[in-house]
Amino acid sequence: MLSISHVATGAFIASKVSNPLIAIPLILASHFLEDWIPHWDVGTGLTNGTRKKESAFGMEIVELVLSFVIVYFFFQFHQTTTFPLWTYVGGFVGLIPDFLEFPRNFFHWEPFWLEPINKFHGIFHHSTPNMVVGLTPQFILLLVIFLLK
């Protein structure tokens, strides 16, 4: 999934569940559930060499910035409450499984302790090179989150 989807989902869960002992496992579980859905993301094609690392890295930086801008507009824009730090933490937690894959995907380096975690993540990860098919569930997800927030 795009980082936007994971961040929005993590922020949504955090906005609804204030207890970190409950929210963090739910946010991490949502990451794996979302990756189970066939999807397109900026990393699609890195493994088989159809996308260059430099291109994916640049797109990911832009996407990360957009992710937290979307969280702002979904959860903070026109709100009179204080800055929702926990919502942003939830968005960050939603990306942890992808952050753990970063060394392997971009530097071909995987510390021994990350290998089982990344293998577990890989069991759930189903990407598709078809952007339309891969982005459609993500647009639907963002729409549902926006409507339920």
Mean pLDDT for all residues in the chain: 89
Q: State the pLDDT at residue 50.
A: 65
First-to-final CA distance of the chain: 20
What band does 6 get if pLDDT is binned at 50, 70 and 90?
Answer: very high
Question: What whole-number distance in Å separates Cα of residue 132 and Cα of residue 85?
Answer: 33
Say what the pLDDT of residue 138 is.
96
Please give the share of the chain, as a percent, with pLDDT higher than 90. Answer: 65
Phi then psi for 39, rounded to 5 degrees? -150, 165
pLDDT in tens, 83-138: 688 999 999 999 999 999 989 888 889 999 999 999 999 999 998 989 999 999 99
78 pLDDT above the threshold of 80: no
Contact 82, 131 (CB under 8 A): no
Query: What is the chain written as a DSSP string?
Result: --HHHHHHHHHHHHHH---HHHHHHHHHHHHHHHHHS-B--TTTTTTTTSS-HHHHHHHHHHHHHHHHHHHHHHHTTT--SPP-HHHHHHHHHTTHHHHHHHHHHHHS---TTTHHHHHHHHHH--B-S-HHHHHHHHHHHHHHHHHH-
